[in-house]
Amino acid sequence: MNWTGISNASLIGRILRFPLRLIPPQTVLPILQGPVRGRKWIVGSGNHGYWLGSYEIGKTALFAASVPSGGVVYDLGANVGYYTLISSFAAGAAGRVFAFEPLPRNAGFLRRHLKLNRIENATVIEAAVAERSGTIRFEPDSSTSRGRIGGQGTLEVRAVAVDEWMEQEDAPAPDLLKIDIEGAEALALRGARRILAGRRPPIFLSTHSGNVHRECLELLDSFGYRVRAIDGRPLERSRDLLAEADSG
């Protein structure tokens, strides 16, 4: 392995990123490319790739193309709202988006992004997604995108099981699910059994450990889903998956 080459590439990357640090964090800029090009974004809310339009660029293009016009999207693990914005504009005025995010800091930016872009078809649910509804411990991370459910968590947050929440709120069933919740993906799937068995929507799923990855594949198989990797890796080592109901 050429460590010198890696070191040089890292140095060049830091040099290229340095001007981004000079932008005041509350600056609002247009997103430069991608499915929500031209929409407004708060620079300091998260990864610079959001407003640069380079964040998960291949995945976001596929996701945007998968949102049905007038459809219903559940964004589980909405963070500060990048996929929520994509969902909202792809679904159109007749569509609905339900964005689930437990961290108050992230939920605050999520709501600000919706307001900045005058989005009226998205609803924020300030809660974690789990197998059962109630309250759970949540462990924030130094990166605002990597907090997770944990027994030793320092923050107590509301938790919802998607099936129970949908019934209690009389919400429409999803036509598309996006799940990216830092290791609790299997819990979310188990809490959405009725949706998976009945509506069987396509699922964009990010997994965050080998054990959770295997458990999710087993659960999806039990509900008659076929799963493919969308990050170019073999399925067993992929982090980003698209699960679709097997019509056969």
- Model confidence band, residue 1 (pLDDT cutoffs 50, 70, 90): very low
* Segment 64-96, tens digit of pLDDT: 999 999 999 999 999 999 999 999 999 999 999
Cβ neighbours of residue 190 under 8 Å, at least 6 residues apart?
131, 219
| Residue 122 near residue 152, CB atoms below 8 Å | no
Choose the weakest-confidence range: 22-26, 89-93, 94-98, 187-191. 22-26
pLDDT band at 10 (very low <50, low <70, confident <90, very high): low
Cα within 13 Å of Cα(167), Cβ side: 11
Domains and CATH numbers, the chain: 56-245 (3.40.50.150)
Confidence of residue 224 (pLDDT cuts 50, 70, 90): very high
56: alpha, beta or left? (left if phi > 0; alpha if psi -120 to 50) = left
Q: Which residue matches tokens 């999803």?
A: 174
SS3 172: coil
Is residue 202 scored above 60 in pLDDT?
yes
**Least confident span in 25-29, 117-121, 155-159, 225-229:** 155-159
Residues 159-171 pLDDT 10s:
999 999 999 999 9
What is the percent of the chain with per-residue pLDDT over 70, rounded to a whole number? Answer: 86
Structure confidence at residue 109 as a pLDDT band (50, 70, 90):
very high
Question: For all residues of the chain together, what is the average pLDDT?
Answer: 89
Predicted local distance difference test score (pLDDT) of residue 22: 85
Q: What angle do CA 55, 12, 48 make, to 5 degrees?
A: 25
The token pair that represents 174 in the structure block: 């999803």
